[in-house]
Chain A
Amino acid sequence: MSTRDKLSVIGKSRRRVDGASKVSGQTKFADDIVLPRMLHCKLLRSHLPHANIKNVDTSRAERHPGVKLVLTGNDFPNEYGILPVSQDERPLCKEKVRFVGDPVAAVIALDEFTAEEALQLIDVEYEELATIADPLEGLNTPEARLHEYSEEGNIHKRLSYEFGDVDDAIAKSEHVFEDIFFYEGCTHLPMEQHAAVGHIEADGRITLWSSTQCPHYVHRAISKALEIPTARIRVIATPNGGGFGGKTDPFNHEIVVIKAAMLLGRPVKIALTREEVFYCHRGRHPVLMKYRTGVDKDGKLTGMHLQTMLDGGAYGSYGVASTFYTCVLQPVTYHLPRYAFDACRVFTNKPPCGPKRGHGTVQPRFGQEVQMDKIAEKLKIDPADFRLGVIEQAGAMTANYLKIGSMGLAECINKVVERSDWKNKYGKLPKGKGIGIACSSYLTGAGNSIYWNAMPHSGVQLKLDRSGKVTVFCGATEIGQGSDDVLVGMVAEVLGLDPLMIRCVTGDTDLTPVDLGSYSSRVTLMMGNAAIQAAERARDLIAEAVSKKLGVPLERLVFADMRVFDTEDPELGLDFHKAVVCGEEMHGTLGTTGSYAPPEPPGKYKGSGVGPSPAYSYSAAVVELDIDELTGWVHVERVYIAHDLGKALNPVLSRGQVQGGVYMGLGEALMEEQTFQRLPPRLSNALVHKTPSMLEYKSLTAHDMPEVIIDLIEDPDENGPFGAKEAGQGPLTPIIPAVANAVYDAVGVRIDEVPITAEKILKALDKKARGGEGRVGPDKFPEIEWPEPYEVPPPWEGGDGDAVNKPKRKRAAKMHEMDKFKKAVSS
């Protein structure tokens, strides 16, 4: 039996399955949940950037009318954190606070107003500590140390890898390019502020509704932080009002409301203010990066050495993974015969950085793509042609052992070149007008889970019964990207159904099989493959029964148009509804499952787990803009983007993802920045977020968005469901360097620093006018004591994917042991 060759759901633009609910205001976001007897929680947050907590006196707050409970750090037994290697967060701070906004106490009261009033009645005695404002300070200031478990002083983590002798390759190159770039931090700014409701049933079972992208990881974190078995906890991810990576960590407020609900026996809600969302952060790390790249006389890349330094903020979050991601995807776009990287993450007294759309790869892609532009100019090759000459091949294994599947980058480049009339514009536009190109690639799901395990990354369950109704269950989370729609679309296609006949239940750890969550662009591919497997198994069961009933050989049965029929005699068949009845008669209650785990990554060296993906998406973008040379004012006129997503499952949603990526990329290129400020040290120890508001954290409005011309390139990948790869994150990335390159084409200055503002352009123009280098950007990369690198010969130099040496690594102290040790010493 089969699905009809011609696809009937996949590849067609149609109303998303959650569309009607969203446009009618029926979608229940976390803060829309109201339960009987529900109480409200507010958090007291530190107003100091770094301090020891000497004492927390909650007695006045407890006496405040309407207050039901006040919690402090002492009420929580354990640390938690998203990565097993950085379990460094507490639901409420106990011994110290590490940034302005770190929560210290919680008040639960009859209403939010009362809870907020009572916060002012909590007396906290602090002992102020020296602060670390940026990674350079962190490198040079081991004390006061933010975390005892860090590798050394305030250095959280250092990495060093060599895939072949890069120094040798560069030394033998015709040209060597050395460039330093800086990418400022920015945040997700989802429209929905995080909210959560904790609830305990009379039998002691616990439920959390939360605006989380990763209910499975929240489930684990609650269990660990509160020492409750996971079987007693249910986490329901409400549809997220935007995530972009900002809701992928387990958060302190989620654990606090659970604890409060357990103690009070009543539902407890917390809804964060916008300012608090800025303190949750987990957004893009500020990254300083240095590229040394060799190019031979034919314009081929010979090798690249990349060094990055990340400003981690106050906690680990996904930071170790982010640190890898600033380096691992460079070889996926252009062939690099040899490659080396060093990376370092430093703790600072600011909200923790983590994963934002394009996790860790957006910053280095900016540097790499601007350097590519500089190389092309020096070599006097058209930047588009230069890129086409060095792109990696489909099916290739990179120097760092990433296996590429389908690779539509050449088509992407050709498409935007043609669409934008690049050949007639590049270098030929009147002064002040410019055009720039850049490319990118991104994962379609991380090849490894956050915690090591041999289980599926995504599970799907299907229930079918005599009603003809199909219900599909999956732990994946709808964050706006269309995850529910992909899930239903897969099942509808395989079973030949109208998507409206299928109900999906997602993101509920009690009801749905585990899916790791909506991050790393993994959902479409992983959940999609699991859904196909579950649906095909259901199809097999039904087909067997129908075949018997109608006397049609199995291989001639087709599932399409809500029927199961004989492909040679389409009149002979059953309505799907009746076919399910047949199936239920033959097999009893019908239910199937599907699982997906990514292929085993080819790399074997320690650290090879970050970077592998079942498939890589590719994008190329061209930006056209106008610059006023007297002010540096930028006006982006048009963006062309071509994105290779393997297969567009629901093209209207695919285009929406691409367009949204361009939007966010332009925001980061031009104005979005999460920056901090110290006041004059002789007067104040303050270190505060400069713009924790929707008004002052600048995101593009309807007026600021230029026309975007989108082409979806479909180069199907054998690992993708119906060939599909990701579209949610990749298209953001080329926009930023394309803007930088267009600025250069327009006015001949290099802004090697993001965001690219009028101020910086004017400064560069001034420098150029004075006869200097028309450039604004960092001049130095600091001296960092790198560890001995892992030496992994690339595949074409006889490598087997493992390191040939065994570098010594200082083992980071286990935090628990260190804490115990400190306690023992102090008592």
Chain B
Amino acid sequence: MPPKQALTPNAGPPPRDVVAAIRGVSKVYSLGGHQVKALDNVSIEFRQGDYVAIMGSSGSGKSTLLNVLGCLDRPTTGQYYLAGQDVAVMDDETLSRIRGRYLGFIFQSYNLIQQLSVVENIEVPLSYQRPPMPGGRERCLKLAELVGLSKRLGHRPTELSGGQQQRVAIARALVNNPHVILADEPTGNLDTATSHEIMDLLDALNKAGRTIVMVTHENDIAERARRIVRLRDGRIESVAEVRREALPAGG
């Protein structure tokens, strides 16, 4: 087991192959007058091609960590470097642009937009690119093919199974060519067989070089990753390297 990341506050931008790094991040909420520390001095780095599972019981701070990593929430203290910039201090509009440009989201409940078709759902992040990304539509079609839904481009989310919806969500998370894919319990709503299909897809993406950070509470899902970060009471309890043999062959 490698040692925890050293605490290096105010250490400047991380090396180039580190796509995302949080340093000394704390997040304090005030609930009904008293302060709750959801994250307490957390530091962690994600390198290009990393595949990390974040685990922990509920209340351990894993959701908060994912929100911070997803630029949906700002840390109370500490830095968050994404694509070489400290995003912890950015304003709302810049954060939106950062999300749209560098991050891909996969949610437990898929979170597709109901009134849009498959291909339109995949397209959504592209409509928020400034400047617009060239070749958007073709990219969507390619990704739909990649996730095996090229025959259902015109379908609405309600006409798809859970697994298919999650595939659409994965395609959507890839369309902006993100630096990091953040997956929040990606198999939480799926049966075992479908969960494995979805995880195979994520494995394959990681093999192709995608950086994936995933929150899960299922051990077998977490073991698909290369590293497992366990949180407890807002602190990193352990960072474990997953043995290669645990990975199933291919994807």
The answer to whether A and B assemble together is no
